[in-house]
Structure 1
Amino acid sequence: MGGKLTYPRDEIPADKTFIVTGGNTGVGYQTAKGIAKLGGRVIIACRSEERATQALEKMQKEHREEVKQERQTQDEAAKKANPPPAATKDTPKPPATGDKDTTGEGSGDKDTAEASATKDTGDASAEGQTTEAKEENEPIASADKEDSPPPEDDAADDVQPLKVEFMKLDLASLASTMEFINAYKAKGYPLHVLICNAGLGLVPFQKTDDGFELQFQVNYLSHFLMTLHLLPLLRESDPNSRIINLTSIVHTSGTFDLKNMQGELSYDRIKFYGNSKVYQIMNMYALNRRLKDSGISIFSVHPGYVDSEFSRGSADSKLHSFVESVSQVLHIKRNVEDGAMTSLVAALDTSYDGRSALYLKDCKVANASALARNTEKQEQLWDYSLDCIKDHITEDLLKDLHLPVPAAKDDTPTTDEAKGEAETKPETPNKSEEPTSTQDEAKSKSEEEVESKPEEKTESKEEVEESKADEDDKSKVEEVESKPEEDIEAKPEAESESKVDEKEEEKKEESEDQSPTDEGGDTKTDEEEVKSEEVKGDEDKGQEDGEGE
């Protein structure tokens, strides 16, 4: 772009529509005005209707004056290019006083009459004659005035007004953001370019009514919510629609800590401002991956250090005062007109058609910070952001946008679903399919252990068999599979006696199956020996299961 910043000034089609948040002041004001002067329709979205009305009146007045000045400049240039013709040599010259008449007849008589009139009437009559001559000339001068161009003020009356209008938006409220979204959709306007310009910085710690840190919500989160809901309009309106986020060079100082996103642990004005700005760039990359081949381009723009009302809430900040002093000494502060240049390039320059996920600085592409380009962190921020606005979006919205719907914590898709649904629909929900597989493994494991145990392990097998007959849910299988050691040690003697009765009943069933091992174990011991061996066996089983865990 060279030394001087500039932007394309091609005429914009009358139906091309732009939204500029915070378009009532500063960089946003100049961005909205620059687009409107080229013919585009601009929606200025801001919180204060009074300030917006004043801004619109000011913008229209400036536009009329600028058009008038442009016309005067063009007229002057035209006059210089086509000067009036110079006087020719054939033009007769009036005779000098006292010269002889060279014009022909009647000239001598005229001189005699004039001399006589002067002698008879004196100087007073001559003055009266002069006055009459002036009065006779006045009607002629008046006629010439009627043919002259109208006054400059009237000349600007035919200037077409800018197509700009106000819509209320309070980015510190998610409810207000949703009201703006619905009101805009109700207008039936298309949307070609969304410029997320509004923001604040270096403010003391405070939370919004939605429970979020103020800079996080105003600079980033509410714009993200608006973007998601307006994506369908951007898709429908133009194959080269654009989303522009106003970020800052301060994004390089930003950090990403999920434990301190809302100042839960600490808060610093400049750090959290930088955080909100790096989130904008991170979100640009994450959204761009999801909008691949959609025809929508996304840019993040750094306007430079601009002399505007941006930091009006930080007058008490020592850092702000220091930066102001340094900027004046180094002459690095830009006026708002230059500050809007990069935004206008991102919005209007056709050389960026088909390009996306770019960080622009000084009207050209630059490199964002390493954190901003970290894909893993971008995805973490995406998930966190969706969770923050979950009450204001629906699964249907995300599906319509072809965006992934965040899966519920207990609803993990199975392998069959990932391949495209099984041939027959399972009888149980997806979330229970994995526990069913665990249950089968548990049963198999228990049966193998029981079959490999000597006589003292007989009770474990009986419990597994009884569980298989009466229990189907996972929790009871696990209870059989991994019985805690302390439960076994705390069993009273009455429980052991109950197990002896169960064993004798089992003896009859196993006698029918002709199981030599179980029969041998039962015939060789009396009731007291069985009791002591079973308790011992339970203790061994509990220790082995505990080690296996």
Structure 2
Amino acid sequence: MGASFGTPPQLPDIELKGKTIIVTGANTGIGYETAKTLAQLGSKVILACRSEEKANQAIQRMKEEHIQERSSEKDAKIIIKADELDVEFMPLDLGSLASTVTFAKEYKAKGYSLHVLLCNAGMAWGPDEPTADGFEIHFQVNYLSHFLLILHLLPVLKATGNDTRIVLISSLMHRFSKWDPHDMQCFNERDKMTVYGTTKLYQIMQMFSLARRLAGSKVSVFSVHPGVVATEINSREDQPVTRSTKIFLWATKSLRMMRNPFDGALTGLHAAANPVYDGKTALYFESSKPQSLTALPRDEAKQEILWNYTLDCLKEYVTEEMLNVV
């Protein structure tokens, strides 16, 4: 299944000039390092974030680090291609389906192409209260809103040209999920790590469902386990997690088994930009390489149950015309 710890293989010499990429949740952690690196490789990067203030602070920090890394090769983690970073904030609140649709409409109105849609934003250990749309919050933020975003932006991905990619940042925690067709959103599940893992299972199942429907379209779909990464999602001391999860997080920190955010971003960067994967699809990555999966996420019948359930959840936001594009 591939190692979860250690440093993944580094990126090859890549140039992305002329490409446009969206990274959700790009103001911190893995998303920040992903967005900065893709911009340093020459692409235009849209930081799709909920907070304009935090996104602008991230952009300023990216530009300062870029200047330093360009002036000192020892500080650079990649072969930098860009003289200046082309990064732009656009508001996206994945806790709101209306915000997700608005983002897609505003992106289309700008007339930008789209070479990579990198669905990175996520949450764990969120509140018990549902979103304003009435959905379990992890289900909506990690999975449902990204699904809606993909459907709305598929026409742009298809029109952009050869080798456009959708990258879903999943997690090894998909192995600690549950499949319950009577409780698809895990409203009745009290263990937040199981809830989180189930949303990550859904992302992988979505990859297979999309890849089947997009066969021959030259749009690739990948999912990624970034490793256990020292980011905000694992840093809170008041997380209402199970004893076993607390022991796991303590052990990975104490044994220095957690990756830093850049090393955590590497696997998603390979999926998003490494030309060796041109023309491939439905690959699950760990430690920067495709790996095998257990039977549950590969179960096509269950994938179709999830697909139909998801469309029912989104029936007010999805049209038949949109589904004809898939």
Change (3 A) 1:229 1:327: same
CA apart distance, 1:238: 2.1
Change (3 A) 1:388 1:312: farther
Output the amino acid matched with 2:200: K
CA apart distance, 1:301: 0.3
Change (3 A) 1:192 1:25: same
Which of 332, 335, 349 is residue 260 of structure 2 equivalent to? 335
1:462-541 equivalent positions in 2, closer than 5 A: none
Mapped contact 2:12–2:274 kept (Cα < 8 A): yes
Corresponding position: 1:382 with 2:290: no
What is aligned with 1:397? 322
Change (3 A) 1:53 1:44: same
What is aligned with 1:193? 116
Moved over 4 A (4+): 1-4
CA apart distance, 1:314: 6.9
Alpha-carbon distance in 2 for matches of 1:72, 1:317: 38
What is aligned with 2:15? 11
What is aligned with 1:492? none
Alpha-carbon distance in 1 for matches of 2:114, 2:12: 20
**Greater percentage in strand:** 2
What is aligned with 1:111? none
What is aligned with 1:41? 44
What is aligned with 1:139? none
1:286-365 equivalent positions in 2, closer than 5 A: 286-311=209-234, 315-319=238-242, 320-365=245-290
Corresponding position: 1:23 with 2:26: yes
Mapped contact 2:22–2:47 kept (Cα < 8 A): yes
Higher RCO (C-alpha 8 Å, min separation 6):
2
Which of 178, 193, 199 is residue 270 of structure 1 equivalent to? 193
Alpha-carbon distance in 1 for matches of 2:314, 2:236: 26
Please give the secondary structure, in 2, of the residue aligned with 1:33.
Answer: helix
Mapped contact 1:303–1:340 kept (Cα < 8 A): yes
Alpha-carbon distance in 2 for matches of 1:314, 1:243: 33
Which of 157, 168, 174 is residue 97 of structure 2 equivalent to? 174
Please give the secondary structure, in 1, of the residue aligned with 2:312.
Answer: helix
The alignment yields a C-alpha RMSD, in angstroms, of 2.0
Alpha-carbon distance in 1 for matches of 2:8, 2:161: 31
Alpha-carbon distance in 2 for matches of 1:234, 1:364: 24
What is aligned with 1:215? 138
Mapped contact 2:26–2:34 kept (Cα < 8 A): yes
**Greater percentage in helix:** 1
Please give the secondary structure, in 2, of the residue aligned with 1:391.
Answer: coil
Output the amino acid matched with 1:8: P
Q: Deviations over 1:191-244 (max 9, x none)?
A: 000000000112342210111100000000000000011111111112100000
Please give the secondary structure, in 1, of the residue aligned with 2:227.
Answer: coil
Which of 241, 244, 256 is residue 167 of structure 2 equivalent to? 244
CA apart distance, 1:66: 1.0
CA apart distance, 1:328: 2.3
Alpha-carbon distance in 2 for matches of 1:311, 1:71: 29
Mapped contact 1:307–1:333 kept (Cα < 8 A): yes
What is aligned with 1:60? 63
What is aligned with 1:133? none
CA apart distance, 1:266: 3.5
Mapped contact 2:8–2:287 kept (Cα < 8 A): no
TM-score by length of 1: 0.55
Instruction: List runs of 5+ in structure 1 lacking aligned partners.
Output: 74-158, 404-549
Instruction: List runs of 5+ in structure 2 lacking aligned partners.
Output: 77-81
Mapped contact 1:204–1:269 kept (Cα < 8 A): no
Alpha-carbon distance in 2 for matches of 1:324, 1:55: 27
Mapped contact 1:5–1:338 kept (Cα < 8 A): no
Alpha-carbon distance in 2 for matches of 1:72, 1:59: 13
Q: Which moved more, 1:255-264 or 1:298-307?
A: 255-264
Alpha-carbon distance in 2 for matches of 1:60, 1:218: 28
Mapped contact 2:158–2:219 kept (Cα < 8 A): yes
Q: Deviations over 1:97-148 (max 9, x none)?
A: xxxxxxxxxxxxxxxxxxxxxxxxxxxxxxxxxxxxxxxxxxxxxxxxxxxx
What is aligned with 1:456? none
CA apart distance, 1:391: 0.3
Output the amino acid matched with 2:302: K
Alpha-carbon distance in 2 for matches of 1:240, 1:221: 25
Output the amino acid matched with 1:31: T
CA apart distance, 1:4: 5.1
Change (3 A) 1:69 1:248: same
Output the amino acid matched with 1:343: G
Alpha-carbon distance in 1 for matches of 2:255, 2:75: 37
Mapped contact 1:255–1:371 kept (Cα < 8 A): no
CA apart distance, 1:10: 1.7
What is aligned with 2:79? none
Alpha-carbon distance in 2 for matches of 1:72, 1:179: 38
Q: Deviations over 1:419-470 (max 9, x none)?
A: xxxxxxxxxxxxxxxxxxxxxxxxxxxxxxxxxxxxxxxxxxxxxxxxxxxx
Alpha-carbon distance in 2 for matches of 1:315, 1:323: 15
Please give the secondary structure, in 2, of the residue aligned with 1:390.
Answer: coil
Q: Deviations over 1:38-73 (max 9, x none)?
A: 110000001000000100000000001111113999
1:85-234 equivalent positions in 2, closer than 5 A: 160-234=83-157
CA apart distance, 1:175: 0.4
What is aligned with 2:179? 256
